[in-house]
Structure 1
Amino acid sequence: MFKKTFALSNTQQQHLVARLIGRAVAARDGDHLAVVENTGQLFFLWRGTAPDARAQVLLSSAWQARTAGWHMMRDNRERFAAELSNYAAQWVYENYGDEDGFAATPHVSSLAAALARDYDDITVSWATAITLTAWAQRAAGRQR
C-alpha cells in the first residue's frame, strides 16, 4: 500500500509561515518581544520550514517594514531586523523597482540566507522575522 505524503513548496511554506507570524504579532498588539518569548508551536514550524523559505520570509518582512523608519538596536535580533529593513528603505531610495529586485540584491539576500541557515542559533532568525513583522504592521497602521 502506498502512503501519500504531502509537502509544501518553498513558496507555500513562506506564505503560510508569514501569515501565521503576522497573526501571532497582531494577537499581541504588535509586541514582538512577547511573541518571541511565548513562541508555542509556531517556533517549531519555523524550525521545520526550509531555509530558502525562511530567507524569503525575512526578505518579504524587511520589504514590508521598510517604511517603519530607522530603528535603534537593543540586541542581535533587532540589529538584523534593522539592517534588513534599513537596506530595503535605502534600496527604494536609490533604485527603481519592487520587492523582487530588493530580494535579488546580493548583500541582502546573502544576509537573509545566512540568518535562515544558522542552525546553531535559529532563534536569531526567528526573532528577526517576528521583529520585522511587528515593524511592518506598525508601518501599515501609520499609512492607513
Structure 2
Amino acid sequence: MPVNWYKIGQLLSVFIGGMTGGAGRYEVGKWLGSSHSLLATTSVNLIGCYLLVFTIYGLDLHVDLPEWLILGLGTGIVGSFTTFSTFGVQFVQTATTHLAIAILYLTVNLVGGFFMAMLGFGTAHVIDWRQKI
C-alpha cells in the first residue's frame, strides 16, 4: 500500500499544533496561578472561541491557506489550547459544593464563548484586506 504523504502532513500539522497549543494552555494556567483553576479554564476557552473563529473563518476568508495549515492552527493549536473536558469536570465538581458559582461559571463560559466567537467573526470582517493573499 502506498504512503499517503498528504495525510501524514495533515497529521503532523495537527500533532505539532497540538504540542504548541497544549504548552500555551499550560503556560496560561501557570500565569494565572493554577492550570486547573476556574479562571484559567474560562480564560483559555474564551480566548480559544475568538481565535478559532478568527483563524478558521477570518484567515480563510482573506488568505488562501493550505488545508494542512488550517488543521494545524484550528484543530492543533486552538483545539489543544481550549479544554471543554476540564470545563465539564470543574462544573460538576463546583456544582456539588457551590451551585451558584457553578451556574455563574457555566453562564460565563457559554455566553462569553458565543460572544467571543462573534467578536472573532466581526474582527475578520472589519480587517481591511485589499485582496485575498
In the superposition, the TM-score normalised over structure 2's length comes to: 0.31
In the superposition, the TM-score normalised over structure 1's length comes to: 0.29
User: Which has the larger Rg?
Assistant: 2
Q: Higher helix share goes to which structure?
A: 2
